[in-house]
Amino acid sequence: MSKETDQALLEEYLDYLLLERRLSKATIEVYARQVGFFFAGITEAIETIQPSAIEHYLVVLAKQRGNTERTVARNLSALRSFFVYLQKQKIREDNPLEQLSAARRPSDAPTYFTVEEVDLLLESIGTDTLLGKRDRTIFELIYSCGLRISEACDLKVGDYTKGNLRVLGKRNKMRLVPVGEVASTALGLYLAEVRPALVKARATEQTLFVGRRGKKLTRQAVFKRFGQYAKPLGLEGKVHTLRHSFATHLLAGGADLRSVQALLGHSDIQTTQIYTHIETSGLKRSYDVYHTLDEEQT
């Protein structure tokens, strides 16, 4: 493709993000800059570029002065979303980023999102509707507290008090998990404005998260809503990936294994140890204070 064609394709992609994905202008500006840099940094045609060429671009990007792992992760997320769009438009039959991700991931590694990818996912959820606000809240909470999807769906209104969440896990084990500031704010808004509007006349309904008819939100509905947000961004993973990400980011930030075990509700610490195979030295540099927890909280 010529540079003029590249520019036209980029503009069409940005229109798609604005009109169909309804991403914020700030997010679209970031994508425009990152995909624009990609166009400028490659010589291959978009229709035929191979994973090796994209990996070379990312390596060069990582070596450039001032670029952190966070910057590279942000670019990778933008490119993944861009190639998903190309598939939708039938400009490409495959997504070379999928091949690249598969090659880099150990076979026994739990799938997780980078901090940047979690931010991207959550920010992409429009909050101009009741269901959008609800979805943003439930996924914020799953990530903030490392919840299983069944645990999130089974929560009662009374399980949240003063920044802490009472969670009923496997084998009916109860645990108390601190809720991060961002998730607490979203949950407060949900309880004050969104849930009452959804529940309406169902005053006896005690389930925390409800559907449009005021009944308990099902696991299947949460799976479906998650896919609607993650797939257009090119993010591989399921709702449970947010739980994996929670554990991975905590360990990367220096949390001890026993604390993470307690937060996840694992009865056996060997189950928690699966996350320790990840190279934390690299993750530490991209770790955000979003999940900073001291020992007193855990």
Q: What is the DSSP string of the chain?
A: --HHHHHHHHHHHHHHHHHTS---HHHHHHHHHHHHHHHHH--S-TTT--HHHHHHHHHHHHHSTT--HHHHHHHHHHHHHHHHHHHHTTS-SS-HHHHHHHHHS-TTPPP---HHHHHHHHHTS--SSHHHHHHHHHHHHHHHHT--HHHHHT-BGGGEETTEEEEE-GGG-EEEEE--HHHHHHHHHIIIIIHHHHHTT-TT--BSSB-TTSSBPPHHHHHHHHHHHHGGGT----HHHHHHHHHHHHHHTT--HHHHHHHHT-SSHHHHGGGGGS-HHHHHHH--GGG---TTT-
Residues 142 and 199 in one domain: yes
Residues 119 and 259 in one domain: yes
Determine the pLDDT at residue 286.
Answer: 35
CATH code for the domain in which residue 185 is found: 1.10.443.10
- The one catalytic residue in 33, 56, 105, 170 is 170
At which residue do the structure tokens 């809240």 appear? 137
Q: What is the pTM of this model?
A: 0.66
Determine the pLDDT at residue 8.
Answer: 86
Residue 31 appears among annotated catalytic residues: no
The whole-angstrom separation of Cα 122 and Cα 177 is 21
Domain coverage including residue 96? 3-104
Residues 92 and 134 in one domain: no
The whole-angstrom separation of Cα 87 and Cα 95 is 7
Determine the pLDDT at residue 76.
Answer: 79
- The one catalytic residue in 80, 133, 244, 266 is 266
Determine the pLDDT at residue 283.
Answer: 37
Determine the pLDDT at residue 74.
Answer: 73
Considering 74, 104, 134, which residue would you say is the last residue of a domain?
A: 104
Considering 45, 77, 104, which residue would you say is the last residue of a domain?
A: 104
- The one catalytic residue in 243, 244, 249, 291 is 243
pLDDT beneath 70, residues of the chain: 1-4, 65-70, 100-109, 276-298
Residues 134 and 264 in one domain: yes
Residue 22 appears among annotated catalytic residues: no
Determine the pLDDT at residue 101.
Answer: 58
The reply to whether 126 falls in a domain is yes
CATH code for the domain in which residue 48 is found: 1.10.150.130
Please tell me the total count of domains within the chain: 2
Residues 286 and 257 in one domain: yes
Residue 277 appears among annotated catalytic residues: no
